[in-house]
């Protein structure tokens, strides 16, 4: 651990593994004897081709992605997927089901309404998004082109557990996995398309990963811009135009780090251990509370409040003075939020809990 570094609990862009940053630093001036940095090389060079193809190969092995899915490295963030998904998938009914579990989910639905109709079939908005709505598959509309969920709700700290992914039958299931991709094992076969911006749990901002069943590619609406058509990128192995070269390289390093840690099974165990430490402390605390339904708790974003806004603010401030930074909750919900992505070491969570105990002793 480099002593100049803080424990960064930011929701995104977020902490990266220190080992990965060190490798990137070492390779900065001269990548693999190319005599240049990855930022400077042609995306059509042999050396870069091996970076992007390794990144894809590692992701496929980590997530166990079957061959009939394409992996695309795109730009524009998850927010661009809010439009790309309907533009490419509104093929028959121009209508889709959305579950409203937070602001990202609701933004996704709003964007789909520009190209067709987003039917919000369940929402937890009235309960301030403190849980995932219970879904009854018998009410799922059949005359929709797809069914959209947000697997982890970054702002509110809720998630669909892998067991709780809705069974949508023959309707393609789409998952915004921006804030919990690679955090635990989800069965890809339950989804037809998964998308995720890199800057939460994979790498730096700039690249968005799309994992899409091949059969969904090639049916975009006529108005779809070339750059927003999955086919453009699938046909060109994500090299139709200049990709976000350096971000993809960083993702490759993160994937290699994950594989070295023992893959998703090992990371999942570590993530559950970290989340459990924090939740159990909060549950036994007389000062802090977590407002989320226990069965829907996120492993990545853990929210907590004291119930007193001034106290929350001094908590955030004093924590920062101790090198525990970015603990302020999202501006729409207040309180605190600790984002403990894959790269957050156990030590960071332990330090946070130690500080919470100290703070609690002072303020009870
Ligand atoms: C951060 C986030 C987004 C937005 O991502 P951008 O890459 O900034 O567009 C969308 N969905 C979820 C769940 C997020 O956490």
Q: What ligand 1 atom has the least distance to the C-alpha of 79? A: 9
Does 295 lie in the same domain as 241? Answer: no
Of 259, 289, 313, the residue that ends a domain is: 259
Q: Tens of pLDDT along 191-236?
A: 999 999 999 999 999 999 999 999 999 999 999 999 999 999 999 9
Does 279 lie in the same domain as 200? Answer: no
**Which residue's alpha carbon is at the smallest distance from atom 8 of ligand 1?**
77
Using the mean position of ligand 1's atoms as its centre, give its distance from the Cα of residue 80 in Å. 9
Task: Name the nearest CA neighbour of 259 among 57, 64, 62.
Answer: 62
- Mutational pocket test of ligand 1: of 107, 108, 179, the residue with most ligand atoms within 8 Å of the beta carbon: 179
Separation between Cα atoms, residue 354 and residue 54, nearest integer Å: 40
Q: What is the pLDDT of residue 332?
A: 83
In this predicted structure, the answer to whether residue 105 has a pLDDT above a threshold of 90 is yes
**Band of pLDDT at residue 357, cut at 50, 70 and 90:** very high
Q: What ligand 1 atom has the least distance to the C-alpha of 102? A: 13
Q: What is the CATH number of the domain that holds 326?
A: 3.90.1150.10
Give a yes or no: residue 7 inside a domain.
no
Q: 326: domain range?
A: 262-362
Number of folded domains in the chain?
2
Give the count of alpha carbons within 13 A of 99, CB side only: 28
Give a yes or no: residue 195 inside a domain.
yes
Q: What is the mean pLDDT of residues 322-341?
A: 95
Does 203 lie in the same domain as 65? Answer: yes
Does 189 lie in the same domain as 155? Answer: yes
Does 267 lie in the same domain as 255? Answer: no
Of 226, 259, 292, the residue that ends a domain is: 259
Using the mean position of ligand 1's atoms as its centre, give its distance from the Cα of residue 208 in Å. 10
Angle subtended by helix axes 346-362 and 309-321, to nearest 10 = 130
Cα R_g (the chain), whole angstroms: 21
- Mutational pocket test of ligand 1: of 11, 81, 100, 104, the residue with most ligand atoms within 8 Å of the beta carbon: 104
Does 283 lie in the same domain as 214? Answer: no
Does 254 lie in the same domain as 339? Answer: no
Does 43 lie in the same domain as 192? Answer: yes
150 a known binding residue? no
96 a known binding residue? no
Q: What is the pLDDT of residue 364?
A: 79
**Which residue's alpha carbon is at the smallest distance from atom 14 of ligand 1?**
178
Give a yes or no: residue 143 inside a domain.
yes
Give a yes or no: residue 3 inside a domain.
no
Does 267 lie in the same domain as 246? Answer: no
CB 150 within 8 A of CB 124: no
Q: What is the mean pLDDT of residues 54-63?
A: 98
Give a yes or no: residue 193 inside a domain.
yes
Does 151 lie in the same domain as 76? Answer: yes
**Which residue's alpha carbon is at the smallest distance from atom 11 of ligand 1?**
104
Q: What is the CATH number of the domain that holds 53?
A: 3.40.640.10
Give a yes or no: residue 2 inside a domain.
no
83 a known binding residue? no
Give a yes or no: residue 10 inside a domain.
no
Give a yes or no: residue 138 inside a domain.
yes
Q: What ligand 1 atom has the least distance to the C-alpha of 198? A: 7
In this predicted structure, the answer to whether residue 331 has a pLDDT above a threshold of 90 is no
Does 198 lie in the same domain as 282? Answer: no
44 a known binding residue? yes
Average pLDDT, the chain: 97
Of 259, 290, 312, the residue that ends a domain is: 259
Residues in contact with ligand 1 by the CB-under-6-Å rule are 12, 77-79, 104, 150, 154, 176, 178-179, 197, 200
Separation between Cα atoms, residue 97 and residue 79, nearest integer Å: 18
128 a known binding residue? no
Q: Tens of pLDDT along 135-187?
A: 999 999 999 999 999 999 999 999 999 999 999 999 999 999 999 999 999 99
CB 152 within 8 A of CB 180: yes
Q: Tens of pLDDT along 224-253?
A: 999 999 999 999 999 999 999 999 999 999
Does 61 lie in the same domain as 163? Answer: yes
Q: What is the pLDDT of residue 1?
A: 63
Q: Tens of pLDDT along 261-286?
A: 999 999 999 999 999 999 999 999 99
* DSSP conformation letters of 300-318: SEEEEB-S-HHHHHHHHHH
CB 202 within 8 A of CB 209: yes
């Amino acid at each position: 651990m480099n002593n100049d570094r803080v424990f960064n609990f930011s929701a995104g862009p977020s902490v990266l593994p220190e080992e990965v940053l060190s490798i990137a630093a070492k390779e900065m001036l001269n990548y693999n004897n190319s005599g240049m940095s990855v930022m400077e090389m042609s995306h059509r060079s042999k050396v870069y081709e091996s970076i992007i193809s390794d990144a894809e190969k590692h992701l496929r092995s980590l997530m166990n992605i079957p061959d009939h899915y394409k992996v695309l490295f795109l730009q524009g963030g998850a927010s661009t997927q809010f439009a790309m998904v309907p533009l490419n998938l509104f093929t028959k009914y121009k209508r889709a089901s959305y579950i409203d579990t937070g602001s990202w989910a609701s933004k996704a639905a709003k964007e789909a309404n520009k190209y067709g109709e987003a039917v919000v079939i369940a929402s937890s908005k009235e309960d301030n998004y403190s849980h995932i709505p219970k879904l009854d598959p018998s009410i799922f509309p059949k005359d929709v082109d797809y069914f959209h969920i947000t697997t982890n709700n970054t702002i509110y700290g809720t998630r669909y557990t892998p067991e709780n992914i809705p069974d949508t039958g023959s309707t393609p299931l789409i998952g915004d996995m921006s804030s919990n991709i690679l955090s635990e094992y989800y069965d890809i076969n339950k989804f037809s398309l998964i998308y995720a911006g890199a800057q939460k749990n994979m790498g730096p901002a700039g690249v968005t990963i799309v994992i899409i069943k091949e059969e969904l590619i090639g049916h975009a609406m006529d108005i779809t811009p070339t750059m927003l058509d999955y086919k453009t990128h699938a046909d060109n192995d994500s090299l139709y135009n200049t990709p976000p070269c350096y971000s993809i390289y960083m993702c490759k390093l993160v994937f290699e780090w994950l594989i070295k840690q023992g893959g998703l099974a090992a990371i999942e165990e570590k993530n559950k251990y970290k989340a459990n430490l924090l939740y159990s402390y909060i549950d036994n605390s007389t000062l802090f509370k977590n407002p989320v339904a226990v069965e829907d708790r996120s492993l990545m974003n853990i929210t907590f409040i004291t119930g007193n806004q001034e106290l929350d603010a001094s908590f955030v401030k004093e924590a920062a003075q101790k090198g525990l930074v970015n603990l302020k909750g999202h501006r729409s919900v207040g309180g605190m939020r600790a984002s403990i992505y894959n790269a957050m070491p156990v030590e960071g969570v332990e330090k946070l809990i130690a500080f919470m105990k100290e703070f609690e002793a002072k303020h009870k």
